Structure 1
Amino acid sequence: MGTQFLTDENGNKTAVLLPIKKYNKLIEHLEDLEDVKLYDEAKKNDDGYRISLEDAFKIIEEKRKISK
C-alpha cells in the first residue's frame, strides 16, 4: 500500500493516508531535524560559560530548599 490522498468533491487533495511504517519514519526524521535545530540554537547562544556538574547539583539543591 502506498500513499493515498483524500479529495473533496472537486478533486482537490485534502488529506493524506500513509502506511504506519512510513508515518513512523517521517516522525523519526522530524524529531532528528528538531534535535539539529535545538543543537544549532544552543550553539549559537553559547557564551562559553561552564560550571561543574557538582556545582550544578548544589545550585539545584539550594533552589529546592528555598522553594519548600
Structure 2
Amino acid sequence: MNRETFVTDRKGRKIAVQIPIKLYEKLISDSEELDEIREYRTAKLHKGDAIPIEQAFKEIEDAIK
C-alpha cells in the first residue's frame, strides 16, 4: 500500500517520487495538523496579546467590509 516509485534522471539520480493518493492525503493532513499545533504553541507564548472575543469578532467583521 505504501509503495513508492522513484523517478530518476538519465544518470539514475532520484529526482521525484510517486506515492499512493491515500498516503499523499495523509501526509497533507498530518502537515496541516502540525502547522496548527505550531500556531497554537506560538499563540500560547504570547498570552499578553489576547483580546476579548467580542473585539476579535468586531475586527473580523470590519476587515470583511
TM-score range, shorter chain: 0.7 to 0.9
Aligned-partner residue type, residue 56 of structure 1? Q
Aligned residue pair count: 61
TM-score, normalised to structure 2, is 0.74
What is the deviation of 1:60?
Answer: 1.8
**Larger RCO (CA under 8 A, 6+ residues apart):** 2
Q: Give the aligned partner of residue 7 of structure 1.
A: 8
Percent identical: 36
Q: Give the aligned partner of residue 56 of structure 1.
A: 55
Alpha carbon RMSD of aligned pairs, Å? 2.6
Structure 2 unaligned segments of length 5 or more: list them. Answer: none
Alpha-carbon spacing, 1:47–1:5, altered in 2? closer, same or farther (3 Å): same
Q: Give the aligned partner of residue 24 of structure 1.
A: 25
TM-score, normalised to structure 1, is 0.72
Alpha-carbon spacing, 1:12–1:23, altered in 2? closer, same or farther (3 Å): same
In structure 2, what is the Cα distance between the partners aligned to 1:30 and 1:56?
31
Structure 1 unaligned segments of length 5 or more: list them. Answer: none
In structure 1, what is the Cα distance between the partners aligned to 2:32 and 2:50?
28
- SS of the residue aligned with 2:16? strand
- In our comparison, the structure showing a higher alpha carbon Rg is 1
